[in-house]
């Protein structure tokens, strides 16, 4: 029994102890409520009830209660009550010690918490069932009263506090703290919390807030830390206390987005938060991917989800957006401060931050309101500052408003930005600024005028990466309203804006631009841009302008462009070009200089055409018409010297290109007569071009040189001959030789005239001189080459086999060694003509052989030399007499006579064979022609064949058959056939010949002849399908 009592005593003692603790806790709570500043009435009421509770607790005996209600129940209930009282103490303590500002903001939450606690305490007391105890009625009544009071208690903040709380809320959300508002707010707060608004209050609040903020940051409670830093800003904005220089509250804040805003899966700030069935939220894409992997539990709470439905968490999204906005506001304020600071490192940090913020129009507007643009532009001068970021800021500002653009320009940015553009590392940002600025014409004007800006932009089109060159392109486009700029661009090689401006411009603008074009360097790549139908048409159209200056500029420009074949085609294709030029020429009132230029342009144009163009282009058809040609021919006799020369040049070009024009000129007797009179009396250049025209209408024409009737004819030939023999100008002599070569062949009076002149002597001299010159120097001057070619052409008139008298003259001159040398070292045309001359001479010798005594074929070889010696009694063609004693292998001693010309004897065989192996078909054919003359006499056929074979003739002929021209091949085959029929081929050469001939069987045009030779070689049978 005693033992039991002992145990019971211990239990009761512990219970009593707990009872006392609850009483003490209640007393502490009452003490706390005394200093509470908000909802004072509610707290006092609460405090009153708790005080009453203390009185009751003190009046009661724990032992007695435990005896009646059971010690275990009593203990649990007391513990519960104790913890509730303790919690209430904490809440009130928290209110008292913290910042008043923050308390006001949190007031509604705190009061709600208190109300909840009061109710809970009431429930605990009522569950104690003290009413059931045997205690006095008055006590019971009091307990009931306390319970009732606590249950019905409403913790309500005053409307003043509520309003202030809203005001604080609004105020800290504003991105710019208004000083007056903040002060007024502070007054209200002070009044509401019963303090005086002064420096110490603000400083005290600041100290508390900063401390709390650090605690929150340490605990990673980012939302709370953010709110605290906003409150700190609010206090600073009252300007009652000065902001410390190193206060970087704002700058630091943004590193910490609130945890709840981060997606638990992707750990980035959510942009599209969605909630899943358990209530947790994630970024939409992340949770979808999570589900797609087949996982059906919540990544956060691991709860198995009955459905994978997601719903947008709109309120969270709103909060995140709000937070972001607030975050940006703070960053912006900090960046403004940074830019205003004097520290370069701070300025750099601020620039980096600002460059992304200014993309938002609101911030750009605020930045400009702060009047910071001049400062920002000034940053460009400081190499230590982050100029790329400053440039980026400037381009955002310029984009934002016209006012910003103006301020940027006023601050002198253009010059600085262009300077920065040279540095490739910030080119991207610099060009972006200029692009924004240049959208305004007045500013674009400034940009275009900035030193070297346009060449720089143009160079950027080609040498920079895509984005930059695209921007440079747009800047140039913005500058294109100004003609001078456009011209400058073209001068730098960028022609597209030039073409556009020209097409849209007035006559005056066009004239200015055309004049500028004449001064420019044109590359083939530029020409592609100029090759534009409307550009060409606009240019041509200027020819119809009334201003001579405009016309002149246009003519010069066209002349310049004609150097490029693509453009000359374009000019030809424009139907207005030639008619307008012709009308300019025909118009009596036209300025002589313009006429001259127009003729010059036409000559350029014709030079650029091809023969077929005259059938295609309407303008050219008109130019070669009878009307145009007679107009031009008429002008020769009526114009000034310079104009006459130009017209003659044009007619020369026309007669080269148009057969019709050539005929029209030839048939104009008056014009021809005038041309010849120019030769006699004209000024040297006029004479020279009149001769060119005569030559070009005669060269290759069946009728040869058109000559006036006797006696003018004789006079004309005399004049031309004396020019060839006496002129000091090699070019003039060359044309004269050309004309002589084209004199009508069948007119014997001309031959007589030539015989009387020194023309042949002059030709001989030219051939020998040039031949000697070319031995001295490898390169033959062009005029010399042409002179030689034409002299050789003239010589051919004298070597004609039908004109014995003339040939005899040639023979006397002994110029064959020079001719043979021409074969080996002159131009193709000279070689060809020399070979033809040799063929002519050799042919005459063969003809005279044929006329001589016929020796029976069988006795040919045995024919005594004495017999041959007298073969050519009437023929005075000569060979060198120095080789007497060595007999000709073909003609025997007959050749050594002075009367014969022999290819073998004069060592022409090897040069001729070499000529066969050349690339020029004309030379090949002429050489074949010369060789053929050896094979015309049946009596000497086998000797001649042997001579050809001995001089590697087979090899040379095979070369022609393999690689020669189509026209040379049949001649070569004919020769081959003759040679084979008189020569025994060596076994070694047989397979090669066979191969080449069989190859020819595949070519339709040569098949039959090749087959005949093969039959002769007994390679194919007598009866073959090839015949």
Cβ 808 to Zn ion shortest distance, Å: 19
- Tell me how many helices (H) and strands (E) the chain has: 55, 3
**Interatomic CA distance for residues 399 and 408, integer angstroms:** 11
Cβ 946 to Zn ion shortest distance, Å: 12
**Interatomic CA distance for residues 587 and 583, integer angstroms:** 6
Span near Zn ion by CB under 5 A; candidates 22-30, 277-285, 347-355, 480-488: 277-285
Cβ 309 to Zn ion shortest distance, Å: 13
Which CB sits closer to Zn ion, 298 or 795?
298
Tokens encoding 581:
């030029």
Asked if residue 58 lies in contact with residue 19, where contact means CB atoms within 8 angstroms, the answer is: no
Of 268, 301, 566, 869, which one interacts with Zn ion (CB under 5 A)?
301
- Side-chain-side CA neighbours of 404 within 13 Å: the count stands at 26
Which CB sits closer to Zn ion, 65 or 890?
890
Which CB sits closer to Zn ion, 105 or 838?
838
Report if residue 895 touches Zn ion, rule: CB under 5 A.
Answer: yes
Cβ 296 to Zn ion shortest distance, Å: 12
Buried b (16+ CB within 10 A) or exposed e, 853-876: eebeeeeeeebeeeebeebbeebe
Cβ 292 to Zn ion shortest distance, Å: 18
Residues 6+ apart with CB under 8 A from 668: 629, 630, 633
Which CB sits closer to Zn ion, 78 or 947?
947
Cβ 272 to Zn ion shortest distance, Å: 18
Span near Zn ion by CB under 5 A; candidates 578-586, 621-629, 750-758, 899-907: 899-907
Span near Zn ion by CB under 5 A; candidates 225-233, 461-469, 494-502, 888-896: 888-896
218 DSSP β-pair partners? none
DSSP for residue 1019: S
Which CB sits closer to Zn ion, 778 or 866?
866
Report if residue 890 touches Zn ion, rule: CB under 5 A.
Answer: yes
Report if residue 880 touches Zn ion, rule: CB under 5 A.
Answer: no
Report if residue 871 touches Zn ion, rule: CB under 5 A.
Answer: no
- Side-chain-side CA neighbours of 225 within 13 Å: the count stands at 21
CA nearest to 206, candidates 184, 235, 237: 235
Which CB sits closer to Zn ion, 227 or 900?
900
Residues 6+ apart with CB under 8 A from 765: none
Tokens encoding 753:
């005239």
Cβ 306 to Zn ion shortest distance, Å: 12
Which CB sits closer to Zn ion, 280 or 656?
280
CA nearest to 651, candidates 705, 716, 586, 695: 695
Cβ 297 to Zn ion shortest distance, Å: 8
Cβ 268 to Zn ion shortest distance, Å: 19
Cβ 950 to Zn ion shortest distance, Å: 13
**Residue ranges in 794-833 that form contacts with Zn ion under rule CB under 5 A:** none
311 DSSP β-pair partners? 275
- Total number of residues binding Zn ion (CB under 5 A)? 12
Span near Zn ion by CB under 5 A; candidates 574-582, 591-599, 900-908, 913-921: 900-908
**Interatomic CA distance for residues 103 and 879, integer angstroms:** 136
Tokens encoding 911:
């040069």
Which CB sits closer to Zn ion, 556 or 943?
943
Which CB sits closer to Zn ion, 55 or 299?
299
Which CB sits closer to Zn ion, 404 or 908?
908
Report if residue 274 touches Zn ion, rule: CB under 5 A.
Answer: no
Which CB sits closer to Zn ion, 298 or 754?
298
Cβ 893 to Zn ion shortest distance, Å: 10
Asked if residue 966 lies in contact with residue 929, where contact means CB atoms within 8 angstroms, the answer is: no
283 phi and psi angles, rounded to 5 deg: -70, 135
Which CB sits closer to Zn ion, 741 or 897?
897
Report if residue 701 touches Zn ion, rule: CB under 5 A.
Answer: no
**Interatomic CA distance for residues 790 and 777, integer angstroms:** 21
Asked if residue 282 lies in contact with residue 274, where contact means CB atoms within 8 angstroms, the answer is: yes
Asked if residue 392 lies in contact with residue 357, where contact means CB atoms within 8 angstroms, the answer is: no
Of 22, 216, 298, 930, which one interacts with Zn ion (CB under 5 A)?
298
Which CB sits closer to Zn ion, 298 or 740?
298
Report if residue 300 touches Zn ion, rule: CB under 5 A.
Answer: yes
Span near Zn ion by CB under 5 A; candidates 256-264, 450-458, 587-595, 880-888: 880-888
Cβ 258 to Zn ion shortest distance, Å: 19
Report if residue 675 touches Zn ion, rule: CB under 5 A.
Answer: no
Report if residue 275 touches Zn ion, rule: CB under 5 A.
Answer: no
Span near Zn ion by CB under 5 A; candidates 246-254, 274-282, 574-582, 831-839: 274-282
**Residue ranges in 459-488 that form contacts with Zn ion under rule CB under 5 A:** none
**Interatomic CA distance for residues 329 and 250, integer angstroms:** 9
The phi-psi region of residue 220 (left if phi > 0; otherwise alpha if psi is between -120 and 50; otherwise beta) is: left
Cβ 313 to Zn ion shortest distance, Å: 13
Of 400, 510, 733, 891, which one interacts with Zn ion (CB under 5 A)?
891
**Interatomic CA distance for residues 859 and 158, integer angstroms:** 156
Asked if residue 470 lies in contact with residue 431, where contact means CB atoms within 8 angstroms, the answer is: no
**Interatomic CA distance for residues 669 and 481, integer angstroms:** 57
- What does 35-101 look like in DSSP terms, one character per residue? T--SSHHHHHHHHHHHHHHHHHHHHS-HHHHHHHH-HHHHHHHHHHHHHHHHHHHHHHHHHHHS-HH
Asked if residue 789 lies in contact with residue 833, where contact means CB atoms within 8 angstroms, the answer is: yes
**Interatomic CA distance for residues 242 and 237, integer angstroms:** 9
Which CB sits closer to Zn ion, 76 or 870?
870
Which CB sits closer to Zn ion, 803 or 905?
905
Of 364, 888, 912, 941, which one interacts with Zn ion (CB under 5 A)?
888
**Interatomic CA distance for residues 798 and 767, integer angstroms:** 14
Cβ 819 to Zn ion shortest distance, Å: 16
Which CB sits closer to Zn ion, 358 or 904?
904
Would you say the C-alpha torsion 494, 495, 497, 498 has a positive or negative sign?
positive
**Residue ranges in 901-920 that form contacts with Zn ion under rule CB under 5 A:** 902, 904-905
Span near Zn ion by CB under 5 A; candidates 280-288, 614-622, 684-692, 984-992: 280-288
Residues 6+ apart with CB under 8 A from 274: 281, 282, 283, 284, 287, 310, 311, 312, 313
Report if residue 564 touches Zn ion, rule: CB under 5 A.
Answer: no
Which CB sits closer to Zn ion, 298 or 489?
298
Cβ 277 to Zn ion shortest distance, Å: 8
Asked if residue 539 lies in contact with residue 558, where contact means CB atoms within 8 angstroms, the answer is: yes
Chain residues that interact with Zn ion, rule: CB under 5 A: 278, 280, 298, 300-301, 888, 890-891, 895, 902, 904-905
């Amino acid at each position: 029994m005693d033992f039991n009592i002992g145990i019971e005593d211990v239990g009761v003692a512990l219970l009593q102890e707990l009872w006392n603790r609850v009483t003490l806790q209640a007393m502490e709570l009452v003490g706390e409520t005394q200093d509470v500043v908000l909802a004072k009435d509610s707290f006092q009421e609460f405090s009153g009830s708790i005080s009453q509770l203390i009185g009751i607790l003190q009046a009661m005996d724990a032992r007695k209660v435990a005896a009646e209600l059971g010690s275990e129940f009593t203990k649990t209930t007391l513990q519960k009550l104790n913890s509730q009282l303790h919690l209430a103490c904490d809440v009130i303590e928290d209110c008292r010690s913290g910042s008043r500002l923050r308390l006001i903001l949190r007031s509604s939450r705190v009061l709600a918490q208190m109300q909840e606690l009061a109710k809970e305490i009431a429930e605990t007391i009522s569950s104690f069932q003290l009413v059931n105890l045997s205690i006095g009625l008055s006590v019971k009544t009091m307990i009931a009263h306390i319970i009732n009071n606590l249950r019905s208690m409403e913790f309500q903040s005053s409307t003043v506090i509520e309003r202030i709380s809203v005001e604080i809320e609004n105020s800290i959300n504003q991105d710019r703290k208004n000083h007056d508002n903040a002060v007024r707010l502070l007054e209200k707060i002070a009044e509401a919390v019963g303090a005086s608004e002064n420096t110490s209050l603000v400083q005290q609040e600041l100290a508390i807030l900063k401390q709390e903020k650090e605690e929150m940051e340490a605990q990673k409670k980012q939302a709370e830390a953010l709110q605290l830093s906003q409150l700190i800003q609010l206090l600073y904005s009252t300007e009652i206390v000065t902001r410390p220089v190193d206060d970087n509250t704002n700058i630091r804040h943004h590193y910490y987005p609130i945890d709840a805003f981060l997606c638990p899966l992707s750990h980035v700030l959510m942009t599209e938060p969605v909630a899943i069935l358990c209530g947790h939220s994630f970024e939409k894409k992340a949770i979808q991917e999570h589900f797609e992997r087949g996982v059906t539990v919540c990544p956060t709470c691991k709860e198995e989800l009955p459905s994978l439905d997601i719903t947008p968490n709109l309120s969270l999204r709103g909060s995140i957006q709000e937070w972001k906005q607030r975050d940006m506001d703070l960053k912006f304020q900090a960046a403004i401060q940074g830019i205003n600071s004097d520290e370069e490192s701070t300025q750099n940090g601020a620039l980096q931050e600002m460059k992304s913020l200014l993309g938002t129009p609101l911030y750009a507007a605020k930045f400009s309101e702060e009047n910071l643009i001049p400062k920002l532009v000034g940053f460009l001068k400081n190499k230590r500052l982050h100029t790329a970021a400053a440039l980026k800021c400037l381009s955002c500002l310029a984009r934002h408003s016209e006012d910003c653009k103006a301020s940027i320009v006023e601050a002198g940015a253009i010059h600085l930005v262009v300077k920065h553009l040279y540095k490739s590392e910030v080119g991207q940002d610099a060009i972006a600024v200029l692009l924004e600025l240049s959208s305004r014409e007045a500013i674009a004007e400034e940009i275009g005028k900035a030193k070297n800006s346009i060449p720089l932009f143009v160079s950027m089109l080609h040498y920079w990466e895509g984005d930059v060159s695209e921007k440079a392109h747009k800047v140039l486009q913005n500058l294109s309203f100004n003609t001078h700029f456009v011209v400058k661009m073209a001068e730098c090689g960028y022609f597209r804006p030039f073409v556009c401006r020209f097409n849209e411009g007035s006559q005056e603008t066009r004239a200015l631009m055309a004049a500028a074009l004449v001064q420019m360097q044109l590359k083939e790549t530029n020409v592609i841009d100029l090759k534009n139908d409307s550009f060409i048409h606009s240019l041509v159209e200027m020819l119809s302008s009334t201003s001579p200056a405009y016309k002149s500029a246009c003519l010069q420009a066209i002349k310049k462009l004609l150097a490029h074949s693509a453009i000359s085609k374009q000019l030809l294709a424009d139907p207005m070009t030639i008619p307008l030029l012709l009308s300019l020429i025909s118009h009596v009132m036209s300025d002589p200089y313009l006429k001259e230029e127009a003729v010059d342009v036409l000559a350029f144009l014709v030079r650029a055409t091809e023969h077929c163009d005259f059938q295609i282009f309407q303008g050219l058809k008109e130019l070669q018409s009878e009307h145009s040609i007679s107009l031009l021919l008429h002008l020769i006799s009526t114009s000034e010297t310079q104009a006459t020369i130009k017209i003659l040049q044009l007619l020369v070009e026309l007669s080269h290109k148009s057969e019709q024009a050539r005929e029209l000129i030839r048939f104009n007797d008056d014009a021809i007569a005038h041309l010849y009179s120019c030769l006699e009396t004209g000024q040297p250049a006029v004479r020279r071009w009149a001769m060119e025209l005569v030559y070009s209408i005669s060269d290759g024409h069946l009728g040869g040189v058109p000559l006036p009737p006797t006696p003018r004819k004789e006079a004309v030939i005399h004049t031309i001959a004396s020019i060839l023999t006496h002129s000091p100008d090699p070019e003039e002599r060359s044309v004269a030789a050309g004309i002589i070569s084209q004199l009508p062949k069948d007119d014997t009076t001309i031959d007589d005239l030539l015989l009387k002149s020194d023309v042949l002597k002059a030709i001989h001299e030219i051939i020998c001189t040039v031949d000697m010159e070319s031995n001295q120097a490898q390169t033959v001057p062009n005029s010399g080459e042409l002179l030689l070619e034409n002299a050789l052409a003239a010589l051919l008139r004298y070597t004609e086999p039908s004109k014995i008298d003339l040939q005899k003259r040639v023979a006397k001159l002994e110029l064959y060694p020079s001719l043979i040398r021409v074969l080996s070292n002159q131009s193709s045309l000279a070689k060809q003509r020399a070979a033809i001359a040799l063929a002519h001479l050799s042919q005459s010798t063969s003809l005279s052989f044929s006329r001589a005594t016929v020796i029976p074929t069988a006795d040919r070889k045995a024919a005594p030399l004495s017999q041959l010696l007298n073969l050519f009694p009437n023929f005075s063609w000569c060979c060198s007499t120095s080789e007497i004693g060595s007999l000709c292998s073909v003609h025997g001693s007959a050749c050594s006579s002075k009367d014969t010309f022999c290819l073998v004897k004069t060592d022409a065989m090897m040069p001729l064979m070499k000529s066969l192996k050349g690339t020029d078909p004309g030379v090949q054919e002429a050489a074949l022609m010369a060789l053929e003359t050896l094979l015309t006499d049946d009596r000497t056929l086998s000797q001649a064949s042997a001579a050809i074979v001995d001089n590697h003739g087979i090899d040379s002929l095979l070369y022609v058959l393999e690689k020669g021209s189509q026209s040379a091949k049949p001649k070569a085959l004919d020769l081959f056939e003759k040679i084979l029929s008189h020569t025994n081929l060596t076994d070694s050469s047989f397979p090669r010949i066979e191969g080449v001939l069989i190859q020819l069987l595949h070519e339709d045009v040569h098949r039959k002849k090749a087959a005949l030779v093969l039959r002769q070689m007994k390679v194919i049978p007598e009866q073959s399908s090839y015949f």
